[in-house]
């Protein structure tokens, strides 16, 4: 039995060709995602992967730019020098201390301000906008302002400190190792905490309010609401921010360079400052590349730790 179509005579073939023309070719659909991703891949290869590969390769060479001679292969000589250098381990210790303090202060203040701005109050949109000002300001003018504030001759901080009983001299804020490290941490945290506060605030607003209301009906107080509901709900966000803060603090350069230059006596010299000094003050490019690879490996370890932690959490929740 034959089936007749409903098209008028002579139009069935034309209609069929129209439907075929409207269907995009499969090959074109398959190549479209790769074509869209190609610019990003080329960008990453040219500006990220290639410099990293060049840096790793250069760490196995002896580079003498002043001698105008080609690099020579030295193998693990630069790494042997690095691991036997006591100053390297001191710099790594300073870097970890600085990173840990910035994580605690910046994320702690960011969490506190996010909890505050998550509550309804008058002029809250204006307060949120003003919160982002430290993060929006460029680092160089911010540091220069703080250097002026901390000046031992005419700094505003010294005027306030002199009101404290027993203080008769102007403290040298950036000349004492402990004070210098404290101020560098505070300025770096002040510059970074608005970003963390904004991310945490977004996570807090995604927590259903019905959970809090049900817990209040059961008699939970504010502290129990925070530890039993708020923290578990935003734990993934906090873990991500810890990783980001670790990487950002680990590679912090501008604030330390302009505030103390790594001093006094190397008290604020992090691994990034040591790489800069080694390469551009002492012109030891080979050793500087080895130090750069060491910093890169530490950053990778932090990132992989977060990936492993997230995968375990996903397995537990599945």
What pLDDT sits at residue 105?
96
What pLDDT sits at residue 1?
47
pLDDT averaged over the chain? Answer: 85
Q: At 15, is the pLDDT very low, low, confident or very high (cuts 50, 70, 90)?
A: low
Give the tens place of pLDDT for each residue, 100-121.
999 999 999 999 999 998 888 8
Show the domain range for 183.
87-317
In a domain, 206, yes or no: yes
In a domain, 30, yes or no: no
Higher-pLDDT residue of 97, 306: 97
d(CA 58, CA 51): 10
What pLDDT sits at residue 129?
83
In a domain, 292, yes or no: yes
User: In this structure, how many other beta carbons lie within 10 angstroms of the beta carbon of residue 260?
Assistant: 22
Q: At 78, is the pLDDT very low, low, confident or very high (cuts 50, 70, 90)?
A: very high
Give the tens place of pLDDT for each residue, 166-206.
777 788 888 889 999 999 999 999 999 999 999 999 999 88
| 3-state SS string for 122-190 | CCHHHHHHHHCHHHHCCHHHHHHHHHHHCCCCCCHHHHHHCCCCCCCCCCCCCCCHHHHHHHHHHHHHH
Rg of the Cα atoms in the chain: 29
Is 82 within 8 Å of 287 (Cβ atoms)? yes
Please state the rounded mean pLDDT for residues 146-169.
83
CATH number at residue 180: 1.10.3720.10
% of the chain residues with pLDDT over 70:
90
Q: At 268, is the pLDDT very low, low, confident or very high (cuts 50, 70, 90)?
A: very high
In a domain, 137, yes or no: yes
In a domain, 12, yes or no: no
In a domain, 296, yes or no: yes
d(CA 58, CA 52): 10
What pLDDT sits at residue 17?
52
In a domain, 277, yes or no: yes
Please state the rounded mean pLDDT for residues 43-62.
90
Q: How many domains is the chain partitioned into structurally?
A: 1
User: CA separation (Å) from 265 to 96, 112, 262?
Assistant: 17, 35, 8
What pLDDT sits at residue 200?
94
């Amino acid at each position: 039995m034959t089936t007749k179509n409903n098209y008028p005579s002579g139009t069935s073939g034309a209609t069929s060709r129209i439907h075929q023309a409207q269907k995009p070719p499969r090959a074109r659909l398959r190549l479209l995602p790769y074509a869209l991703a190609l610019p990003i891949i080329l960008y990453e290869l040219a500006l990220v992967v290639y410099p990293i590969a060049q840096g790793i390769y250069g760490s196995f060479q002896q580079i003498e730019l002043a001698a105008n001679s080609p690099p020579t292969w030295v193998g693990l000589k630069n790494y042997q020098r690095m691991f036997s250098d006591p100053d390297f381990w001191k710099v790594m210790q300073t870097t970890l201390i600085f990173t840990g303090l910035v994580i605690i202060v910046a994320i702690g203040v960011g969490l506190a301000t996010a909890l505050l701005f998550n509550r309804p109050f008058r002029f809250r949109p204006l307060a949120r906008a003003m919160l982002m000002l430290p993060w929006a300001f460029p680092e160089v003018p911010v540091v220069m302002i703080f250097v002026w504030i901390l000046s031992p001759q005419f700094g505003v901080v010294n005027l306030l400190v002199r009101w404290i009983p027993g203080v008769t001299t102007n403290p040298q804020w950036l000349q004492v190792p402990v004070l210098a490290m404290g101020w560098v941490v505070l300025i770096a945290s002040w510059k970074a905490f608005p970003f963390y506060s904004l991310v945490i605030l977004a996570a807090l607003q995604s927590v259903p309010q019905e959970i809090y209301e049900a817990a209040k009906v059961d008699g939970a107080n504010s502290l129990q609401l925070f530890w039993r509901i708020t923290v578990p709900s935003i734990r993934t966000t906090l873990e991500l921010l810890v990783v980001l803060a670790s990487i950002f603090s680990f590679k912090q350069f501008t604030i330390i360079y302009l505030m103390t230059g790594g001093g006094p006596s190397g008290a604020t010299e992090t691994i990034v400052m040591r790489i800069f000094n080694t390469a551009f003050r002492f012109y030891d490019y080979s050793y500087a590349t080895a130090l750069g690879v060491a910093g890169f490996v530490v950053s990778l370890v932090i990132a992989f730790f977060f990936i492993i932690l997230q995968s375990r959490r996903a397995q537990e929740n599945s």
